[in-house]
Amino acid sequence: MLLLLLVCLLLPQTIAQAAIPSAPIVNAKSVVVMDAHSGQILYSKRPEDPLTTQSLLPMLTAMTVTKTHSLQEFLLVDESAGQGRTKIKGPQGGAGLKSGERLKISQILSALLLAQSPDALRALSSLYPSETAFLEALQGTINSLNLSQTKITELFPEKNSPDRTTASDMAKVMQAFTQWPDLLTLANQSSYTFVPNNMVPEPRVIQNTNLQVVPRSEAAYQKARAGFFSENLFEDPGNNLFIALASAKDSEFIVALGHSSNGKEAFSNSKALFDWAFNNYRSEKLIRKGEILSELPLPSKEVLTLESGEDFYFLDNAKEGEKTNFSLSFKPKEWTGKSITRHQNMGSADILVRDKVVGSVPLLASKDLTLPQENTASTEPTRPSLPLVLLFFFGVLILLVLLIRTYNLYRRSLRKGRTLKRQRQRLDLSKKTPEDDDWPKFPRG
């Protein structure tokens, strides 16, 4: 009986685990497969193995630069831009930037994101007072993403550089990169051509080293959106890195690979892992950013609508074809003040699927609103002004006078009424005769 009970308890869990097959075996020594929306790790193998940082630098640089500079801003290329061109071997090559060229930041980023061009990296670093300041800015981005296993101390690391990252951190960076749609568009180009100018009269074509986004390449993958491949820096196979993003409908997945033998293997390994993820998992957008989720009644009898501050995706088994049913549990936030500003945080809403909390979204005010003075809360006691006190006193005094006068008039009217009644009664008695009386009459003797 005990054995039967254990089997019954374990059977649902066994079935749930068996519903999704194991990830395919790949040659890469370090692997992470992540759901890009939630950050959930779907599969990993040695995710904390140390790796070089070359595949991370384009994304980190692009996000760091665009925090403070517009893609349409122009940059004057200085003489130092070509110093790093010979530092990297493999498909990564210089964009051929020339001192004195005036280019848009989007153009230079295209060279960096497509081919990890070292002269493009050097040119972008000139936006900062010094290389040290640029590295500090990169470190700030690393800290904001909580990349505990990533360290970058130089732009062009040598063979024995202490700079390191992991497949796990690579996946986190790609997840953050998905929040920059303009940068994703640049990274998704199969190639980029610099328009000839007075400094460089011939066209320069930069090919994307991520062959998954190149339509006619052997590694082309229709669902690919972005990727960064770094091959054989310093002739060390351990430096073959690939971080990629692929999407279909609402589903979006990330694959990070370390220690691949070559680029062809990295592309085929990532495709196999992407196919496994798409075949077995699906993301469904349950809540759209800006969607009205609730209403907040206010003391002023107005109603403030609350909207979701972000998209929310639910990751489920791909075999679950039906639309996911969910409910919301609202958690309003206490607030005080005289006004509400649009997109002010007013609380959160937990999302429940199958009676289990699967996440939450912030609730934001949908409009600006100024509250009436009497409905606002104050943290300091207020003292009534003297005119208001006097006005209140005289108002009460007048009210008392009116009440007393009304009461006296009422008593006077009552007394007058009683007097008139008595007078009428006396008058009626004086007019009566014995014949008019209703007394009984007795016969005489």
How do residues 115-140 score in pLDDT, each as one tens digit? 888 889 999 999 999 999 999 999 99
pLDDT at 274: 96
Amino acid found at 287: I
Burial class (CB in 10 A: 0-12, 13-18, 19+), 54: buried
Reported as a pLDDT band with limits 50, 70 and 90, residue 188 is very high
The DSSP secondary structure of 293-334, one letter per residue, reads EEEEE-TTS-EEEEEESS-EEEEEETT--SPPP-EEEEEEPP
Query: For 277-315, how does the pLDDT look when each residue is reduced to its tens digit (9 = 90+)?
Result: 999 998 888 899 999 988 877 777 778 889 999 988 888
pLDDT single digits (tens) 358-415: 889 999 988 888 776 554 433 333 444 556 667 777 788 888 888 888 888 888 877 7
Tell me the CATH class for 23-281: alpha beta
CA angle in degrees (0–180, nearest 5) for 163-166-169 = 105
pTM exceeds 0.75, yes or no? no
Confidence class of residue 234 from pLDDT cuts 50, 70 and 90? low
> What's the half-sphere exposure (Cβ side, CA atoms, 13 Å) at 155?
28
- Mean pLDDT over 337-349 rounds to 85
Count of alpha carbons within 13 angstroms of residue 329, beta-carbon side: 10
Given pLDDT bands bounded at 50, 70 and 90, which one contains residue 431?
Answer: low
Segment 169-173 mean pLDDT: 96
- Can you give the pLDDT at residue 12? 41
Say how far apart CA 46 and CA 27 lie, in whole Å: 12
Query: Mapped to the 3 state alphabet, what secondary structure does 143-162 carry?
Result: HHCCCCCCECCCCCCCCCCC
77 or 273: which carries more pLDDT confidence? 273
- Over residues 16-25, the mean pLDDT reads 73
Tell me, what's the pLDDT at 251?
92
Longest Cα–Cα distance in the chain: 162
Q: What is the mean pLDDT of residues 320-349?
A: 82
pLDDT for 316: 84
Q: How many CB atoms lie within 10 A of CB 406?
A: 10
Is 92 in a helix, a strand, or coil? coil
State what percent of residues in the chain have pLDDT above 90: 41
pLDDT, averaged across the chain? 82
**Average pLDDT, stretch 412-441?**
66
- Domain ranges for the chain, please list them: 23-281, 288-375
Residues ≥6 apart with Cβ < 8 Å to 81: 97, 99, 119, 120, 122, 123, 126
pLDDT at 4 (0 to 100):
41
pLDDT at 121: 92
pLDDT (average), residues 51-71? 93
Please state which of the ranges 147-156, 235-244, 316-325 shows the lowest mean pLDDT. 235-244
Intra-chain end-to-end CA distance of the chain, in Å: 123
Winning range, highest mean pLDDT, from 128-137, 226-235, 334-343, 369-378: 128-137
CATH class given for the domain over 288-375: mainly beta
Nearest 5°: the CA angle 11, 17, 19 is 100
Residues 89-118, mean pLDDT to the nearest whole number: 82
